[in-house]
Amino acid sequence: MSKILITGAAGFIGSQLAHRLYREKNEVVLVDDFSYGSEDNLIFEDADFRSSIHRKDIRDLEFMNSLFQKENFDIVYHIAGITPLPDCQIDPPKAVDVNVRGTVILLDLIRKYGVKKMIFASTSAVYENNKDFPSVEDHVEKPSLIYPSTKYTAEQYCRAYWDAYGIPVVVLRFANVYGPHIDCLRTQPPVMGYIIRENLLGNKPVLHSTGDQERDFIFVEDLIDLAVLVSKSEKYDTVNVSTNKTVSINTIANMIAAEMGCSDRGIDYADTSHYWYRYPALYEKPYPINEKLLENEVLKYTCLSNGHAKEAYGWTPKTSLEEGIRKTVEFCVRELKKAGVGK
Ligand SMILES: NC(=O)c1ccc[n+]([C@@H]2O[C@H](COP(=O)([O-])OP(=O)(O)OC[C@H]3O[C@@H](n4cnc5c(N)ncnc54)[C@H](O)[C@@H]3O)[C@@H](O)[C@H]2O)c1
């Protein structure tokens, strides 16, 4: 049994990680400021974390210091972060403050209180400008957008704490994550959550692209298997969490529609730029955003090698896309109906 701190524990990934670690008989301590997470994510058949979670910002130094002093953690899973690309692009100082400074705050508390290791949630978005596929851990063309830049910078600090103090950190670069608890209620949900919600509302999902762009989607339970396995590492490591397979957004949309029994409704397509016009702050003069950058982001191809995860940790993703989509649809439809969305 270990005592484990999980930041971002009310979010999509953090909540399920907390549940898994709890079921494996660890003592879990959860922190989230609920800037994105939700209470619903904290309720499981055999556990309810709503009353025990600390509703705090990881940047609250007084609170975090007293928490580390009191709890004597073995491991920190640092999952909290500002994830939506538009939010990071609109408020870069805040994105840097949470994603970079927040990570350094945790690293420094780990150093100060002698925590054994940290596992850090990074992203495949750091490969935004890579041209060779599948992307491998030791080759990153420096990213251009704010979100991946913050994560890539935070990775550098993880490395700096390993170099200077020998604190083991495993950086996990997640591909596109999907599964139960994916957010389908927020204004701009991830693509699967969005498609499921529109289908349930009887609308045609609108893709701001041709839908032909291919991405690497990893099921959340497979991700968590690996997140648990890497906690055995005693050194610094960077690990892609991916299937090394790609699927187009059109195929995803069609699979979801088939699962929801609305295949004949179809999909609408819109100009890529229209997606971003919802964020007028990005187009303000004198420096309106480079539209090509946004277009590249929407149309980008992602495929991450998972050879290192397989060789170093004996991990392999187990969930087929069909099974993963079925479980995701089942969960989202239930949650959306509970929230009064759709019939
Ligand atoms: N979902 C994906 O496809 C994906 C892909 C790559 C990387 N990631 C990374 O994985 C992590 C989890 O992603 P997710 O999809 O679960 O996102 P999420 O938004 O559901 O969860 C992030 C959680 O962090 C919390 N948080 C944000 N700022 C905080 C702060 N200052 N203090 C305390 N809590 C704070 C939010 O309230 C939220 O509950 C993120 O760091 C994200 O960048 C996610």
pLDDT at 141 over 90: yes
Residue 331 counted as domain residue: yes
Q: Mean of the pLDDT values across residues 100-127?
A: 98
Same domain, 67 and 39: yes
pLDDT value at residue 253:
97
Same domain, 167 and 284: no
Residue 343 counted as domain residue: no
CATH of the domain at 274: 3.90.25.10
237-241 β-sheet, strand order: 27-31, 3-7, 75-78, 117-123, 169-174, 237-241
Angular region, 231: left φ>0, alpha ψ -120 to 50, beta rest: alpha
Residue 186 counted as domain residue: no
Closest atom of ligand 1 relative to the 124 alpha carbon: 6
Nearest-CA residue for ligand 1 atom 27 is 81
pLDDT value at residue 275:
84
Same domain, 237 and 263: no
Same domain, 125 and 202: no
Ligand 1 binding pocket includes 6 (Cβ within 6 Å): no
The closest of 90, 120, 112, 94 to 237, measured between CA atoms, is 120
The closest of 248, 266, 240, 224 to 321, measured between CA atoms, is 248
pLDDT in tens, 173-190: 999 999 999 999 887 789
Query: What crossing angle do the helices spanning 61-71 and 102-113 adopt, rounded to 10°?
Result: 30
Ligand 1 binding pocket includes 240 (Cβ within 6 Å): no
Same domain, 159 and 281: no
Same domain, 201 and 239: no
Same domain, 141 and 273: no
17 CA distance to ligand 1 centroid (A)?
12
Same domain, 169 and 309: yes
Same domain, 11 and 147: yes
Same domain, 255 and 126: no
Q: Mean of the pLDDT values across residues 113-133?
A: 98
Q: Mean of the pLDDT values across residues 89-97?
A: 98
| Cα dihedral 70/71/77/83 (nearest 10) | -40
Residue 287 counted as domain residue: yes
- Strands 214-215 and 75-78 turn out to be unpaired
Same domain, 195 and 227: no
pLDDT value at residue 188:
79
Nearest-CA residue for ligand 1 atom 1 is 177
Instruction: Provide the number of structural domains found in the chain.
Output: 2
Q: Mean of the pLDDT values across residues 287-316?
A: 95
Is the distance from CB of 94 to CB of 147 less than 8 angstroms? Answer: no
CATH of the domain at 228: 3.40.50.720
pLDDT value at residue 343:
63
pLDDT value at residue 162:
98
143 preceded by a cis bond (ω within 30 of 0): no
Q: Mean of the pLDDT values across residues 270-293?
A: 91
Same domain, 253 and 235: no
| Domain region containing 293 | 191-211+248-301+326-338
Q: Mean of the pLDDT values across residues 48-53?
A: 98
Least confident of 53-57, 106-110, 119-123, 186-190: 186-190
Residue 265 counted as domain residue: yes
pLDDT in tens, 27-44: 999 999 999 999 999 999
